[in-house]
């Protein structure tokens, strides 16, 4: 069974803190990796794709370790508006997959003033 | 910015009734998906659709479920005879190139089966 595992949290941090999320995935054939955020009772929204070389978008940095099948997300200088559930997402990728995604259960982040 | 839309936002139905959930994907997208999220649980893949046919479906997508693209803009999910355990948020998503490309999610339809 192909799964994505995340620490469920919640992570409660003060504004300005740095917070890291970790994720492991079981399907070694997966090729595409993403972090989505989901606000309460809302749809998932893409935060960033994760590339093998690692990538950064402002305060957000994503890393991928294919050998360990491990993905991370680092948020620096956290803001109140970063409070959400962060979803680790991996494509199913088995011969001909059209991009069907496997979601982790998500890690809930709460940033306090 | 173009977006995926879904109707209705909420639907309450009696067990055994048929429901149709509607989605309008982003206009130039070619790949369409349905996911569901039971309250408090993770988002789960149901089905993908490309070139007017189902590409893949999960174990959840049994004979009670069907999808259709009746015209050039709508993409529907039908549940023929709803069960209590079908209560969930149903998300439609679309992408322009399928695998490895960003999927854009609609706001969801919250289905409650009584």
* Gap from A45 CA to chain B (nearest CA, Å): 7
Which residue of chain A comes nearest to B91, CA vs CA? Answer: A43
Q: Which sign, positive or negative, has the C-alpha torsion B57, B60, B64, B67?
A: negative
> Does A102 score more than 70 pLDDT?
yes
Phi-psi category of residue B85: left, alpha or beta, with phi > 0 → left and psi -120 to 50 → alpha? alpha
Dist CA A71 CA A23 (whole Å):
5
Q: Which residues of A touch B45 (CB under 8 A)?
A: 92, 100-102
With cut-offs at 50, 70 and 90, classify the pLDDT of residue A9. Answer: confident
Nearest Cα residue to B76 out of B56, B46, B96: B46
> Does A96 score more than 70 pLDDT?
no
With cut-offs at 50, 70 and 90, classify the pLDDT of residue A93. Answer: low
Dist CA B107 CA A13 (whole Å):
28
Q: Which residues of B touch A32 (CB under 8 A)?
A: 99-100
Walk along chain B (114 residues) and give the pLDDT tens digit of each residue: 789 999 999 999 999 999 999 999 998 898 999 999 999 999 999 999 988 899 889 999 999 999 999 887 899 999 999 999 999 999 999 988 765 568 899 999 999 999
pLDDT of residue B98: 62
Dist CA B49 CA B72 (whole Å):
14
- What is the pLDDT of chain A when averaged over all its residues? 91
Residue predicted with more confidence, A77 or B73: A77
Q: Are strands A33-38 and A84-91 parallel, antiparallel or unpaired?
A: antiparallel
pLDDT of residue A28: 85
User: Nearest CB to B98: which of A41, A98, A104?
Assistant: A98
Count how many pairs of residues, chain A against chain B, have C-beta atoms within 8 Å.
Answer: 67
> Does A92 score more than 80 pLDDT?
no
pLDDT of residue A8: 83
Rounded average pLDDT over A37-57: 92
* Gap from B43 CA to chain A (nearest CA, Å): 6
Burial per residue of B49-79, b for 16 or more beta-carbon CB atoms within 10 angstroms, e otherwise: bbeeeebbbbebbeeebebebeeeeebebeb
Dist CA B11 CA A92 (whole Å):
30
> Does A99 score more than 70 pLDDT?
no
pLDDT of residue A32: 87
* Gap from A19 CA to chain B (nearest CA, Å): 22
pLDDT of residue A27: 85
pLDDT of residue A97: 57
DSSP state letter for A16: T
pLDDT of residue B106: 97
Q: Are B90 and B79 in contact (CB under 8 A)?
A: no
pLDDT of residue A94: 59
Dist CA B105 CA A73 (whole Å):
21
Q: Which residues of A touch B89 (CB under 8 A)?
A: 41
**Tokens 């998503």 appear where?**
B93
Nearest Cα residue to A80 out of A57, A109, A43, A56: A109
pLDDT of residue B100: 58
For residue A99, give every residue at least 6 positions away whose Cβ sits within 8 Å of its Cβ, in sequence order, or none.
Answer: A32, A91, B31, B33, B48, B95, B98, B99, B100, B101, B103
Q: What Å distances lie between residue A86 and A22, A36, B91, B113, CA to CA?
A: 10, 6, 17, 28
């Amino acid at each position: 069974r192909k799964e994505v595992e995340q620490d469920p949290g919640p992570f409660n941090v003060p504004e300005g803190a740095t917070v890291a999320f970790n994720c492991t995935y079981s399907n070694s054939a997966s090729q595409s990796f993403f972090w989505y955020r989901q606000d309460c009772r809302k749809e998932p929204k893409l935060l960033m794709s994760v590339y093998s070389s690692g990538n950064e978008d402002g305060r957000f940095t994503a890393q991928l370790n294919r050998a360990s099948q491990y993905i991370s997300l680092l948020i620096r200088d956290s803001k109140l508006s970063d409070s959400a559930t962060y979803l680790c997402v991996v494509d199913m990728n088995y011969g001909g997959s059209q991009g069907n995604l496997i979601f982790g259960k998500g890690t809930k982040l709460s940033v306090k003033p | 910015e173009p977006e995926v839309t879904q109707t209705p936002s909420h639907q309450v139905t009696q067990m055994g009734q048929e429901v149709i959930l509607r989605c309008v994907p982003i206009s130039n997208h070619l790949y369409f998906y349905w996911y569901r999220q039971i309250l408090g649980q993770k988002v789960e893949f149901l089905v993908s659709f490309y070139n007017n046919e189902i590409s893949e479906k999960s174990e959840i997508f049994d004979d009670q479920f069907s999808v259709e693209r009746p015209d050039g803009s709508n993409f529907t999910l039908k549940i023929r005879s709803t069960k209590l355990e079908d209560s969930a948020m149903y998300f439609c998503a679309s992408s322009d190139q399928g695998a490895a490309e960003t999927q854009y999610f609609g706001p969801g339809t919250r289905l409650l089966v009584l």
